[in-house]
Amino acid sequence: MVDTWGKRFTVLFAGGGTGGHLMPGLTVAAELKRCFPESRQVFVGSTKAIERSMVERHGFEFHALPSAKRPSSPLGAPAWTARMVGGLLGARKLIHKIQPNVVVSLGCYAAFAPSLAARLAGVPLVIMEQNAYPGKTNRLLSWWADEVYAPWRGTEAYFAYPDRVQVTGNPVRGDLRRVHNRRLANEFGLSPRKKTLLVMGGSQGARFINQTMAKALDRLEREAVSWLQVLHSTGEADLEETRAAYERSGMQATVLPFIEDMSTAYAVASLAVCRAGGTTLAELTTQGVPAILIPLPIAANDHQRRNAARLAGLGAAVLVDQSDLTAARLADAVLNVLRNDRLISGMRNASIKIGCPEAARNVVSRLCGVLQNGSRQAEPLVAPFVEGG
């Protein structure tokens, strides 16, 4: 870890859109604040209320700028152009006001305007990518970035300058340090004597997982009620419907809209059923939790499937495409893993080998190098068309 050099500086984190994009930035911001108490961390994102709430809940400053996804129809082009121009003008004013020493793109369309405005102003730009296949915004911004921080090896070819890509791991919240411990199940009102299945829908696509799991309960009750229990995070919309399904089944379960204490949730989990976003997988592998991964089929560039395939290929997870998933197949997958202690142990060990609990420190160390050395000579602000979604 780098030593504090006592210098005051400001880091602007640009982007968000989802918790999976924001959480790594919040983790790095917290690590920067811990190492350099006089430093300032500022976030700029879209006008979604959830982004402001999430950032301010972690104690950081937040600014919203107009932004929008590229329209699928030409009819939406004028409105999109207007919002992009407004976002860029607002970003230029914000950069001038905040005077950041470095800007960090977290990805998503909300990152583009502030990152480009920073580069135009000569501010160093770095990119944090969470997925095995980077999003369009980060791929495009990589033409002007000083460094790119990637979760795994193999992503270098997707960026403009592979030699600027540094494999740091994907930062995860600092409290994810507990080892597997069934006794902690008491904290969720569950039994320490049973194996715990952790089910998470994620911020998108929760309904499919919730409904499929509810249909799988009859089979799980018949074959595993004596030794299996479920900790299920449903999201707000499906809470009552999913909770009622568990009550009808007789399976021991705790059903919550959201799980605040994810460190304990991962620690009690024998197996997880979830989507395959980059941040989710970073958390799973930091904790060494075996998983059945169901990639979100509408994720941009099918990046969740690429993420899941990487873990499955290394033996840390089972990949099941949503198009192939039925209640019967989900129950089969859960039972096949949880009945085989040797398989669980192998998956857990493979997961731990993939995880990178020091990712936040790695990123902070690289950022300190950029802060000390300054920006590369600015590249011409012209880049070829980036293929893909």
Give the angle 241-246-249 at the CA atoms, nearest 5°. 125
Read off the pLDDT of each residue in 33-37 and give the average, rounded to a whole number.
Answer: 93
Alpha helices in 121-259 (DSSP H): 136-141, 206-224, 239-249
Backbone angles phi, psi at 380, to 5 degrees: -60, 135
Mean pLDDT score of the chain: 87
pLDDT on residue 78: 63
Q: For the stretch 162-193, what's the b/e string if a residue is b when 16 or more beta carbons lie within 10 angstroms of its beta carbon? A: eebbbbbbbbbbeebeeebebebbeebebeee
Residue 49, pLDDT above cutoff 90 = no
Tokens representing 50 are 């959830």
Q: Reduced to 3 states, what is the DSSP secondary structure of residue 230? A: strand
| Helix (H) or strand (E) segment spanning residue 165 | strand 165-167
pLDDT at 385: 32
What pLDDT was estimated at residue 383? 35
pLDDT in tens, 191-240: 999 999 999 976 554 899 999 999 999 999 999 999 999 999 998 888 99
Q: Residues 171, 177, 181, 187: what is their CA dihedral angle, to the nearest 10 degrees?
A: -90
Query: Poorest-confidence range of 25-29, 84-88, 268-272, 349-353?
Result: 84-88
pLDDT of 46 higher than 90: no
Which tokens in the block code for residue 59? 């104690």
> pLDDT tens digit string along 4-18?
445 689 999 998 766
Structural domains in the chain plus CATH codes: 10-74+82-172+357-373 (3.40.50.2000), 182-354 (3.40.50.2000)
Mean pLDDT, range 339-367, rounded to an integer: 94
Cα distances (Å, whole numbers) of residue 232 to 89, 246, 252, 318, 387: 44, 10, 11, 19, 38
Percent of the chain with pLDDT over 70: 86
Please give the pLDDT value at position 76.
54
Spell out the alpha helix ranges (H) of the chain. Answer: 19-35, 49-57, 77-98, 112-120, 136-141, 206-224, 239-249, 262-268, 278-287, 303-313, 327-338, 341-354, 359-373
Residue 1 has pLDDT above 80, yes or no: no
Please compute the mean of the pLDDT values over residues 285-301 and round it to a whole number. 90
Span 178-184, mean pLDDT?
84
Q: Over pLDDT 90: what percentage of the chain?
A: 63
Q: What pLDDT is recorded for position 324?
A: 92
Quick check: 147 pLDDT over 70?
Answer: yes
Across 264-285, average pLDDT: 94
